[in-house]
């Protein structure tokens, strides 16, 4: 049985780590290098770093940061933000990234996914999609223009899959920073429509929300950002909660997960 991946998502504005709330408010946390050093010493399966300002400010990916991070990381590293062409992908992979995460560049040019997958392999290509609820349906959200697009989520993600994406990072705009849990309706809709892995993102406030994305939402991996920017919210506690919920997770031999008790907030004690 495939293990459920736990993926911290580090959101940055250049090299400043931020917490995101509703895609319009950002709380500065600290330096990205400090965050990376923290996560590589904890029990995570991958790390995603996304510079959410890069494309808006026409800034290219930070290859120097990725080269430094790759030397520190002992888990797969996915990098997004500012990717506009195949040369940027090549540069990130050369710097040590294992995967790239692309978003705005593919909304109007799905052929870019095909070109990238053909050149580098679909296992390297993660497509990030931001979705917003509109009545009973969900639409694609353009974070650069801060507006909802007339694109149905299901149809758009099917097209992304057909174009050759390796996996989808699905972020809920409505749940971003809410701490109310993932949009399970959205996750079920997408995971039943595509065959490639779906990574859930957006809304985690308690660790039991992670298991819900897999058990109810049908996702193959869970990602979170804000919750991991606090000392009391360790990734080990997250995996303890996932294990307690019955999910198959990759366990570190040095950590005794079953010895954890969890308080009402999901913190270990």
- Which residues are CB-contacts of 251 (< 8 A; sequence separation ≥ 6)? 43, 239, 243, 257
Catalytic residue among 130, 174, 176, 183: 130
Contact 36, 48 (CB under 8 A): no
Contact 221, 99 (CB under 8 A): no
Per-residue burial over 94-122, b = 16 or more CB atoms within 10 Å of its CB, e = otherwise: ebbbbbbbbbbbbbeebebbbbbbeebeb
What are all long-range contacts of 261-264, with beta carbons under 8 Å and residues at least 24 apart?
Answer: 262/207, 262/237
Residue 130 annotated among the catalytic residues of the structure: yes
Query: Which residues participate in catalysis according to the annotation?
Result: 130
């Amino acid at each position: 049985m495939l293990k459920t991946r736990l993926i911290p998502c580090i959101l940055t504005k250049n090299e400043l780590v931020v917490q995101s709330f509703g895609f319009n408010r950002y709380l500065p946390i600290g330096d990205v290098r400090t965050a990376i050093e923290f996560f590589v010493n904890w029990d995570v399966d991958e790390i995603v770093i996304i510079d959410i300002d890069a494309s808006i400010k026409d800034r290219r990916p930070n290859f120097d940061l990725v080269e430094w991070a790759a030397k520190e990381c002992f888990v797969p590293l996915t990098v997004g933000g500012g990717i506009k062409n195949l040369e940027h992908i090549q540069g990130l992979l050369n710097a040590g990234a294992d995967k790239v995460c692309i978003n705005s560049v593919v909304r109007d040019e799905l052929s870019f996914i095909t070109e990238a997958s053909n050149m580098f392999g679909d296992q390297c290509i993660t497509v990030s999609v931001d979705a917003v609820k509109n009545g009973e349906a969900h639409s694609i959200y353009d974070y650069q223009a801060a507006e909802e697009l007339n694109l149905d989520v299901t149809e758009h993600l099917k097209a992304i899959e057909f174009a050759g994406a390796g996996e989808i990072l699905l972020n809920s705009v409505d749940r971003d920073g809410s701490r109310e849990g993932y949009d399970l309706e959205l996750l079920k809709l997408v995971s039943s429509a595509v065959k490639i892995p779906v990574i859930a993102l957006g809304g985690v406030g308690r660790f039991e929300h992670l298991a819900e994305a897999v058990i109810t939402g049908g996702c193959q991996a869970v990602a979170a950002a804000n919750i991991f920017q606090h000392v009391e919210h360790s990734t080990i506690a997250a995996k303890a909660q996932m294990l307690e919920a019955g999910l198959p997770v990759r366990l570190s031999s040095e950590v005794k997960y079953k010895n954890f008790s969890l308080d009402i907030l999901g913190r270990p004690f």
